[in-house]
Each structure stands twice: as C-alpha cells, then as structure tokens.
Amino acid sequence: MALDRALIFLGPPGAGKGTQAKQIAQSCGVPHLSTGDMFRDAVSRGTDLGRQVKPIMERGELVPDDMVMKLVEERLARPDCAHGFVFDGFPRTIAQATALDGILARRGFGKPLVIDLAVSADMLMRRLTGRRTCSVGGEIYNVYDAPPKTPDVCDVDGGRLVQRSDDRPEVVTERLAAYERQTRPLTDYYRRQGVLDAVDASASVEEVGRALREILKSVKS
Ligand code: ADP
Ligand code: AMP
C-alpha cells in the first residue's frame, strides 16, 4: 500500500500511536517518525541535544518548537522520506503544525492525512504505567493488555524490556496536562482543513488497526 503523503497520528500519550504507526509504516514501506524516539535516542547517546531535552522530558513538558522543527526538517530531508512518512507524536503544537504545512508544501507533498486516536483518561493511565519497550528494537508491550510471552523479554529479538522513566504516574499527569493545553487544539486546526479522521482507540490493537486500514483504503480509492 503506497502512502505518498504525511500520515499524522494525534491523540494523548498512551493512546496507541506508536503501536499503530509502526505497523502502518511497515506495511506502506515508509519511515515511522517518532520525535519522542528521536529525543530518547539523543538522550541515551548523550549528545548536546540530548543533554538539553533530558530535564524537559523528565518533567513531562514539551520540548521547545524550534528544537523539534530542526530535528524534523533534517529527518525529512533524507531520501527514505521521498514517498511519505508516518508521524507519531508530531506535531504537538499549533506552531509545529503550521511549520510542517510549510515544509510539506516545499517538499511537494499535499495535505497530510490526520487521524485522532481517542481514548478515555482512566484507560491512558493503565496503558502508560503498564507500557514496556524493547531496549533493542523498540517493540511496544503492555504488562496488562499486551504482555510478552516471557516476562521482560521481547518476543521479536529477545531484548530486555524497560519502563520509560516518564511513564511514572506523577510525570504522566503532567504529560496529559501538556496534551490538553498544547496538543488537543490541533484537532480543530486539522478539522478546519478537512483532513481529520477519528478512530475509537479504546478497542483492541487489532480492531484499531482494522479501522485505520479502512480509512487508508478509502483515502486511496
Ligand atoms: P503512544 O505512542 O500513543 O504513547 P503506545 O503505542 O506506546 O502509545 O501504547 C501505549 C501502551 O498501550 C503500550 O503499553 C501498548 O502496548 C498499549 N496499547 C496500545 N494500543 C492498545 C490497544 N488498542 N489496546 C490495549 N493496549 C494498547
Ligand atoms: P512521546 O514518546 O511521543 O510520548 O514523547 C516523549 C517526550 O518527548 C514528550 O513528553 C516531550 O517531552 C518530547 N516530545 C516528543 N515529541 C515532541 C514534540 N513534537 N514537541 C515537543 N516535545 C516532544
């Protein structure tokens, strides 16, 4: 399934953006661009960027727009982005969304397809505190709802599963507040452009995946 556009997943932390974005990017043969993964990679490598964003991420706040846009603009210039890409966790502010509009236009892409993953707040806490991620390949699990076959070991590559430090309940509260304050307004922004679809993300991973594939099919036809 070709994509030839930007696919954007909106939705609060824990809605399932990464889980779905990885699968869709893989089936479309385009890159999965998670700005959160890129910042965590910078933190773990101890780069200048990593040193700057670490305390911000640990507080559950958003990284400043100029730092995010620099990262994204550099990433989109790479050749693997020529046929589209799936964003996960970007854009997160109106300023990022308007900057992205400009980049997409300059790179010859049309309007993005935006899908809002909607979930209730109590479910988000369970998903975030139960989340575990493979330290090798980044596969996503949940100790309650999507456990690995062997506890703490990745089914795919045997990597050790780790808990993100910002998935502690006190940081989760701040991340959800940042979402409401700075990111939720993007649903109106994209609705006004006529590019927003919504999916009930409280359903199972498989059901959400099915609903997303239906949307992609209808956009293509
Ligand atoms: P996000 O990228 O939006 O923060 P993730 O994709 O990392 O969210 O998912 C958060 C947690 O919820 C993970 O532990 C994941 O395994 C789990 N999860 C994702 N989608 C579902 C779903 N539809 N049903 C149950 N658990 C899910
Ligand atoms: P995520 O992995 O998407 O949950 O992001 C983890 C953290 O990285 C967020 O809480 C922010 O501190 C930072 N981050 C990721 N993407 C962005 C973005 N687009 N804008 C600002 N901060 C971001």
- The residue extents of the domains of the chain are 6-119+182-220
State the amino acid at position 179 in one-letter form. Answer: Y
Residue 133: C-alpha distances to residues 146, 165, 184, 190 (Å): 11, 11, 25, 30
Cis preceding linkage at 91, omega within 30:
yes
First to last CA, the chain: 12
Task: Give the mean model confidence (pLDDT) for residues 48-74.
Answer: 98
Query: Is 15 touching ligand 1 by the criterion CB < 6 Å?
Result: yes
Ligand 1 centroid to residue 102 C-alpha, Å:
31
- Cβ neighbours of 1 (radius 10 Å): 11
CATH code of the region 6-119+182-220: 3.40.50.300
CB 100 within 8 A of CB 147: no
Residues contacting ligand 2 via CB (< 6 Å): 13, 35-36, 39, 56-57, 60-63, 68, 89-92, 96, 166, 175
Buried b (16+ CB within 10 A) or exposed e, 16-54: bbbbbbbbbbeebebbbbbbbebbbebbeeeeebbeebb
The model's confidence at residue 54, banded by pLDDT at 50, 70 and 90, is: very high
Rounded to the nearest 10 degrees, the angle between the axes of helix 169-178 and helix 121-129 is 130
- Taking only the tens place, the pLDDT of each residue in 103-143 is 999 999 999 999 999 998 889 999 999 999 999 999 999 99
pLDDT at position 121, please? Answer: 84
